[in-house]
Amino acid sequence: MLRSRSRLGQQWNSMQHYRFPVVFTSLIIILLIYTFSVSKDEQEPTSLNHKGISLQSLVELNPTVEFRNGTNVISQLPYSPKAVLFLAHGCNGKAANFWDKSPGCPNCVGLPEERLIVLHALARKFAVLAVSSVGRCWTLGDEKVIVKGIIGWWVEKNNLGKVPLVALGASAGGYFVSALANDVKFSSIVVMIAEGVFERMDVPKNYPPTLFVHMPKDRRRMRLIGENMEALRQKGVDVAEVKCMEFPLTPYLLSDRIPGIDDAISFELVELLHKEGFVDENGFMRKDGRATRWKEALKERINVSLDKNKLDHIQEELNLAFAYHEMTSLQNEEIFNWFESHMK
Ligand SMILES: *[C@@H]1O[C@H](CO)[C@@H](O)[C@H](O)[C@H]1NC(C)=O
Ligand SMILES: *[C@@H]1O[C@H](CO)[C@@H](O)[C@H](O)[C@H]1NC(C)=O
């Protein structure tokens, strides 16, 4: 009895001994899990956040504006560029959408997604060149010849003939880039929210590696992209896709991504969109920003002073959250990794 008691005591003692490390280890594990989940929570807003603020500490938007062959050519060189990125906007777009308004570019618009693409590009040492289409949209005839000429002139002028040339086009700009890639030697391209115009051209074997960045909510386009990817693959062209999904509006989405929109305005606008039923119970946009009469609703109800020049910027973010058809910089990592992994 005694013996077993003392043995029990011993066991108890040794359990006490074990207990401390066990409790300690569990505490550490709990702490680790907690830290991870917290830092994960914190990561998401920052990856969405910043209006490029973290990037702006590395680079400043400070473009050169030129006029050539009847159109605007806007560009910026980072220190020691390792590649050149040609950007093609969509219908109704223009080169000036890619840079913030500044003394050097008083007509610049700085749409949130466009400027974040440029900031990201410059931070990764890509020289950036954007050209405005002459009409509302790009045309696939003479305009290709003109733009090819502008790219060649600009590359030579800046002594960048030895670094790789890549291109990104969104929507109609995606059609344009897909066609231009037949005439201009790009090391790789990104075709955003567009299927390209491959059925209208003879795709050569050495056509550049092509990344499709698209929004599957546009099901028809997704199907066409799937068909084109298959056709390109059969020609031996390197292809890949990145799918961009809808996401819920968070109170500070607009202030996080649009310069000149502060937290109070963002909070109030998002709250209003909820109240007016433009957003469902989970925070998702019910319709595309373009199809929603949110501007009218805002005019009547808004209690914050809102810069009218920011309406397009807000609409772009609402479209992005709806994820049907919009320029997106949320996939910058994938996009620039694609460019960088196809430089030779
Ligand atoms: C573009 O402008 C330059 C300089 O004025 C000219 O030499 C060139 O031929 C033009 N290119 C086209 C395609 O018109
Ligand atoms: C609107 O602004 C006025 C004046 O700043 C304020 O008194 C009022 O409470 C605000 N209303 C709402 C709904 O926020």
Question: For position 162, which CATH number holds?
Answer: 3.40.50.1820
Which of ligand 1's atoms lies nearest the C-alpha of 145? 13
State the amino acid at position 157 in one-letter form: K
Examine the domain organization and report whether 167 and 286 are in the same domain. no
Examine the domain organization and report whether 236 and 311 are in the same domain. no
Examine the domain organization and report whether 131 and 232 are in the same domain. yes
Percent of the chain with pLDDT over 70: 82
**Quick check: 268 and 304 in contact, CB under 8 A?**
yes
Cα–ligand 2 centroid distance for 304 (angstroms): 9
pLDDT at 9 (0 to 100):
43
Examine the domain organization and report whether 207 and 335 are in the same domain. yes
Residue 265 in any domain: the answer is: yes
Which ligand is in closest contact with the Cα of 71?
A: 1
Cα–ligand 2 centroid distance for 240 (angstroms): 50
DSSP 202: -
DSSP 190: E
What end-to-end distance do the CA atoms of the chain give, in Å?
81
| Structure confidence by residue, pLDDT tens digits, 174-217 | 999 999 999 999 999 999 999 999 998 999 999 999 999 999 99
How does residue 309 score in pLDDT terms, banded at 50, 70 and 90? Answer: confident
Examine the domain organization and report whether 165 and 261 are in the same domain. no
Residue 317 in any domain: the answer is: yes
Q: Pick the most confident of 18-32, 117-131, 277-291, 295-309.
A: 117-131
Domain tally, the chain: 2
Residue 132 in any domain: the answer is: yes
Which residues are bridge partners to 73 per DSSP?
66, 131
The closest of 241, 118, 237 to 182, measured between CA atoms, is 237
CA-closest residue to ligand 1 atom 10: 69
Examine the domain organization and report whether 211 and 308 are in the same domain. no
Examine the domain organization and report whether 122 and 177 are in the same domain. yes
Cα–ligand 2 centroid distance for 310 (angstroms): 22
Examine the domain organization and report whether 236 and 101 are in the same domain. yes
Cα–ligand 2 centroid distance for 321 (angstroms): 28
Return the higher-pLDDT residue of 280 and 51.
280
264 phi/psi in degrees, rounded to 5:
-65, -45
Cα–ligand 1 centroid distance for 146 (angstroms): 7
How does residue 33 score in pLDDT terms, banded at 50, 70 and 90? Answer: low
Q: How many C-beta atoms lie closer than 10 Å to residue 343's C-beta?
A: 12
Distance CA 232, CA 210 (A): 9
Examine the domain organization and report whether 113 and 210 are in the same domain. yes
Which of ligand 1's atoms lies nearest the C-alpha of 148? 13
Crossing angle of helices 294-301 and 311-322, rounded to 10°: 130
Distance CA 269, CA 200 (A): 44
Which of ligand 1's atoms lies nearest the C-alpha of 68? 2
Which residues are bridge partners to 87 per DSSP?
130, 168
Q: pTM of the full predicted structure?
A: 0.83
In whole numbers, what is the pLDDT of the chain averaged over residues?
A: 87
DSSP string, 81-104: -SEEEEEE--TT--GGGGS--BTT
Residue 209 in any domain: the answer is: yes
Average pLDDT over residues 46-57: 58
313 phi/psi in degrees, rounded to 5:
-65, -45
DSSP 180: H
Residue 25 in any domain: the answer is: no
Examine the domain organization and report whether 263 and 231 are in the same domain. no
Tokens (6 digits) for 19: 């207990």
Domain region containing 304? 246-322
Return the higher-pLDDT residue of 343 and 302.
343
Crossing angle of helices 294-301 and 263-275, rounded to 10°: 110
Residue 274 in any domain: the answer is: yes
Cα–ligand 1 centroid distance for 149 (angstroms): 7
Examine the domain organization and report whether 155 and 285 are in the same domain. no
pLDDT at 298 (0 to 100):
75
Would the pLDDT of 218 be above 90?
A: yes
Would the pLDDT of 52 be above 90?
A: no
Average pLDDT over residues 124-129: 97
Examine the domain organization and report whether 69 and 147 are in the same domain. yes
Residue 189 in any domain: the answer is: yes
Q: Which of 69, 139, 142 to mutate to test ligand 1, by most ligand atoms within 8 A of the CB atom?
A: 69
Residue 38 in any domain: the answer is: no
Would the pLDDT of 99 be above 70?
A: yes
| Structure confidence by residue, pLDDT tens digits, 146-180 | 999 999 999 999 999 999 999 999 999 999 999 99
CA-closest residue to ligand 1 atom 6: 69
**Quick check: 89 and 128 in contact, CB under 8 A?**
no
CA-closest residue to ligand 1 atom 12: 146
CA-closest residue to ligand 1 atom 7: 69
